Structure 1
Amino acid sequence: MTAHIVIVDDDIDLTNMIRRFLERHDFSVEVIRTGEGASERIQRIQPDLLILDLMLPGVSGMEICANLRPQFDGPIVMLTALADDVDQIAGLNQGADDYLPKPLKPELLLARIQALLRRHRPSSPPAANASQAYHLPPLSIDPPLQSVTWHGEPLPLSGREYDLLFFLAQHAGQVLARDRLYQAIFQTHYDGIDRSLDVLMSRLRRKVPDGENYIRTIRGQGYLLALEKQDR
């Protein structure tokens, strides 16, 4: 099935070039030239991937990215003419999956798009004990409903964020190596370079109250969910 890509950028020459290039590689492409109304359109059509300019008239790309993440689980590639690493880090922290500077190299953009789409194929939660509820106070997970609560309050997560938290909960108290987590969530081997897991982990930690304390990085080893399972 043809992947549908939305580009949000006010640069007419650039978007025309990207559209023609991607259409030659069998993608369906839609262009939005202003930040106003972009979030609503993207939430409604749920494209396979979003290319988002940082500097937009009306509403900034950073704001659109932050607003979209609770409702849009597809990959987001940020574009910017700014060279400041602070802007790159800020974009990734708002939920972007990758970051490319302008002037843009179409072949590099294509490679990034293909890699992101492979990693963001619709996934199923890790299969082991997939029907078993997990009670790790203050966290509770109901796999059949894919619902998560924290102190009884719903915790809104994207599909990938849920998959990651569910896998961590299945192995609560265990240190999980990056390679193992990456393969479980993205169904492919970690190449030693890709940062999708880091971005996903950062988003999950921001949504879990006191996430840095409960979802810990064990230097040189991996990640640990510092909660204990309780049977009901």
Structure 2
Amino acid sequence: MKPKILVVDDEASICDLVKINLELEGYEVSTAGDGEAALRSIELINPDLLILDIMLPKINGYDICKKVTYEKGIPVIMLTAKTDLIDKVLGLELGADDYITKPFHARELVARVKALLRRVSKEVKNIEDLGNHLINGSLEVFSDMRKVILAGSEVELSAKEYELVYFLINHLEQVFTRDTLLEKVWGYDYYGDTRTVDVHIQRLRKKLSIESGGNNIIQTVFGVGYKMARQ
């Protein structure tokens, strides 16, 4: 079955360009020109990946990103004309997996789509191979349901935050550099930078510390990277 991709941009020429190039690679592609149309299409076709512009009529890309990553776990590539670091960081904090800035080369976008879909497919296989109930003190991860419980309460995580927790709980007390986390969690072909890791770790720490009374489960090893401490 062909992977389904939804492209959301208010510029019809960009939608057409991306659609043509992705269809040539064998993907099934739909398009939407505003936020409301995007949400309708998401419910209708349940895409495997979303390519999403930030500046959209009716509902902006940030709100759509937050909704689909938290409620549906759909991978998202943000497509934007903005180059400010704040805009990129906000997209990542809301759960986006990658971003690409306009103007862009169609071949680069296609490469990122392929890399992200390969990584998602690999994660599904890994979840099937490993145990589905992982415990570290008061932290529990149920991989079959992609659910994280801390001190008896479910923690609401984006898809990427969950993947970080899942990876780290499988490697307790092991220290990973930012580059290694990019490789292992985002995939070999990920085009982002190490700031991506920092943003997700900071957001994840905040959520986990609220539930654990301020205890930092994910710790910084200065000059090296991050680890999940044994509880």
TM-score range, shorter chain: 0.7 to 0.9
Per-residue CA distance 1:72-105 (angstroms, 9 max, x = gap)? 3332111122232221222122111221222232
Contact map agreement 1:141 1:148 (CA 8 A) in 2: yes
Contact map agreement 2:134 2:169 (CA 8 A) in 1: no
C-alpha distance in structure 1 between counterparts of 2:208 and 2:219, whole Å: 12
Q: Which amino acid aligns with 1:226?
A: A
Structure 1 position 50, deviation (Å): 0.7
User: What residue in structure 2 maps to residue 226 of structure 1?
Assistant: 229
C-alpha distance in structure 2 between counterparts of 1:159 and 1:172, whole Å: 20
- 2:171 matches 1:168: no
Count of matched residue pairs: 224
C-alpha distance in structure 2 between counterparts of 1:194 and 1:212, whole Å: 29
Question: RMSD of the alignment, in Å?
Answer: 3.2
The 5 A counterparts of 1:30-41 are: 30-39=30-39, 41=41
Structure 1 position 28, deviation (Å): 0.8
Structure 1 position 57, deviation (Å): 0.4
Q: Secondary structure at the match of 1:213?
A: coil
C-alpha distance in structure 1 between counterparts of 2:183 and 2:81, whole Å: 34
The 5 A counterparts of 1:152-191 are: 152-157=152-157, 161-178=161-178, 181=181, 185=185, 190=188
Q: Which amino acid aligns with 1:125?
A: I
Gaps of 5+ in 2: none
TM-score, length-scaled by structure 1: 0.78
The 5 A counterparts of 1:130-141 are: 130=131, 133-137=134-138, 139-141=139-141
| Structure 1 or 2: more helix by fraction | 2
- 2:123 matches 1:124: no
Q: Secondary structure at the match of 1:224?
A: strand
Structure 1 position 53, deviation (Å): 0.6
Per-residue CA distance 1:134-163 (angstroms, 9 max, x = gap)? 1413x2335566542112111234565444
TM-score, length-scaled by structure 2: 0.79
Contact map agreement 1:126 1:163 (CA 8 A) in 2: no
